[in-house]
Structure 1
């Protein structure tokens, strides 16, 4: 059992705790720290978490074996460097960083220290995404033509205008840092490096005035194309569709539980009555718990965390390019 601390006990930090506390045999939270202690005291007491003053106190606590960060995006890199210097494993909520240079600096600190470094792209761990990954790698979709992905939520409608998630410096390009970065990670996982991006990001509805409607075109090194949508002011939903010369596969529903596959008809004549779609539903999966348990396993000598350091850095580089493209209205090439 890995004894971890949670730093940042806002809404998402509490979600991380709930996913494993008294449920997992691999990780539990024993301590924590947060900016506004009074808002987290009841939750901490209910979940058996000792609240400490700050990250420095968490790092110094000998009972804390690993640290999970659910803090503002711009804080991540300095915090990773502090934790790495103390030799403790660290799990960082996405986005890992906002610039490639800062991501490289944090990864280098972790590598020098020899610690486990993980990032919270929990959707990679859902069985539906695993099935899609297997089909692509087995070649069942044929030549990959295009991927379209979308992730939508109502969260922007309820964000406080003075909250850090409404700050364009912390959350640039609309829903990219909270939503779209998951879709970018899925594309990197399934298809490899992304070469260039174009983005438009506008405000339509959220009361804070933040951008809430973001669309991106992507060109991959492999030659295939992709597109994504990140919307923060509409009905919650998820779609990850891959179109190949031998068929189409899709992961859908807000919980990623629905997997659909439809093959290409074998002839023009047969295309008039295409093969029926196959649908499989995998309900009740907590991908947040799966990601934290993968981190715990890696931190205690098990299998390495499946998101490689070079993938973490490339994901941030793509995010940085998307942010730049949103401000320039043109394609941006990724270094």
Structure 2
């Protein structure tokens, strides 16, 4: 019996900036089980890129929402627009994939998650770190109990890519991207932390401007306690060359993952692990494309083949923690989540 070829999910890409273009090229290369047919961006300069990628260009998201052939919309837009855009996409009856962070407040995250759930639509999130092979191994080792009870997380995801941005860029607006590198990079680390450790209970943050004039600060560190016990230290700066390190410690073993390059152009990972009564081991993991793999998981959830692995509860817990981190970055005090 011949196999019926699966139809890719037909989608619009809203936001054709740096990250939107990364996603457009990945989807065009294949393997995401999705195809973009429309590109939306208010900047008319994006029209040339849309044409290059074979996308029908529009400056208005409404044109995509009114297209009955579209099944989904992928949002690569500023954080402050997410809640309104998600509501519009859901009202149009389309699945939605949103770049991180989902929102800047817990209330906003709860509203978006509820809208999608109640409408029976898939909500995907741009937390591609979960789809990196060695991070997926950590999640499985924790889930299976191999690591034993989890005690602590140490993580740093930093870069200096924004130092050359025009000051008018939304990524350099303290009200849109608060708390140093938190919304750019740290949000990925807290996503993993709440997945592994559960809901956070409180956090204390130090956020300083040590090496730039970035309004939201350039050097941020957060110490997080979790309701079920355990802690995490998360650092995210905007003024140091790229570094990405994620380490989790349990009673039976620990695993540390270091990225060899930014996920924009992944080059593999170095994994160091130590298990009880065994010597410490170091190995390398070859490159993969976690951004593509996340979009593929979204497409498969739309097709009903598998549940999307980032749950609404995970999304809400992460944004609740983000909201407390932003408060603590301003006060320097211990803030409840």
Task: Find 1:249's aligned residue among 255, 260, 264.
Answer: 255
Moved over 6 A (4+): none
Q: Name the SS of the counterpart of 1:174 in structure 2.
A: coil
Per-residue Cα deviation, 1:100-129 (whole angstroms, up to 9, x for no partner): 111111122212221111111011111101
Match of residue 17 from structure 1: 24
- CA–CA distance in 2 between the matches of 1:239 and 1:53? 38
Residue 114 in structure 1 maps to residue 120 in structure 2: yes
State how far apart, in whole Å, the 1-side matches of 2:254 and 2:32 are. 38
Calculate the aligned-residue CA RMSD, in Å.
Answer: 1.5
- For 2:122 and 2:148, the matched residues in 1 are separated by 36
| Alignment-derived partner of residue 228 in structure 1 | 234
Q: 1:173 aligns with which of 168, 179, 189?
A: 179
- Once the two structures are TM-superposed, the CA of residue 170 in structure 1 deviates from its matched residue by 0.5
Equivalent in 45, 64, 77 of residue 70 of structure 2? 64
Is the CA contact (8 Å cut-off) linking 2:207 and 2:219 kept in structure 1?
A: yes
For 2:66 and 2:125, the matched residues in 1 are separated by 22
1:258 aligns with one of 270, 277, 291 = 270
Question: Residue in 2 aligned with 1:160?
Answer: 166
Q: Which of 324, 329, 333 is residue 330 of structure 1 equivalent to?
A: 333
Greater shift, 204-213 or 2-11, is seen at 204-213
Please name the residue that 1:270 is paired with.
Answer: none
- Distance in 2 (CA, whole Å) between partners of 1:23 and 1:281 is 26
Matches within 5 A, 1:29-108: 29-38=36-45, 40-108=46-114
Aligned match of 1:293: 296
**Normalising by the residue count of structure 1, what TM-score does the alignment of the two structures yield?**
0.93
Kindly state the Cα deviation for residue 173 of structure 1 after the two structures are TM-superposed: 0.5
Instruction: Name structure 2 gaps, 5 residues minimum.
Output: 1-7
1:141 equivalent to 2:144? Answer no
How far off its partner does 1:240 sit?
0.7
Q: Please list the CA deviations of residues 267-308 of structure 1 after superposition, one character each: whole Å capped at 9, or x if unmatched.
A: xxxxxxxx4322232222010000011111111222111111
Correspondent of 1:3 among 10, 15, 18: 10
Contact 1:200-1:214 at 8 Å conserved across structures: yes
SS at match of 2:304: coil
Instruction: Give 1:304's aligned residue.
Output: 307
Please give the alpha-carbon distance, in whole angstroms, between the structure 2 residues aligned to 1:86 and 1:45.
Answer: 25
Stretch deviating more after TM superposition (245-254 or 76-85): 245-254
Conserved in 2, the CA contact under 8 Å of 1:159 and 1:208? no
Query: C-alpha distance in 2, partners of 1:227/1:208?
Result: 23
In structure 1, runs of 5+ residues without a counterpart are 266-274
Q: What secondary structure, in the 3-state scheme, does the structure 1 residue paired with 2:296 have?
A: helix
How far 1:247 sits from its partner (Å)? 2.6
**Distance in 2 (alpha carbons) for counterparts of 1:12 and 1:48:** 18
Report the secondary structure of 2:29's partner residue.
coil
Aligned to 1:279: 282
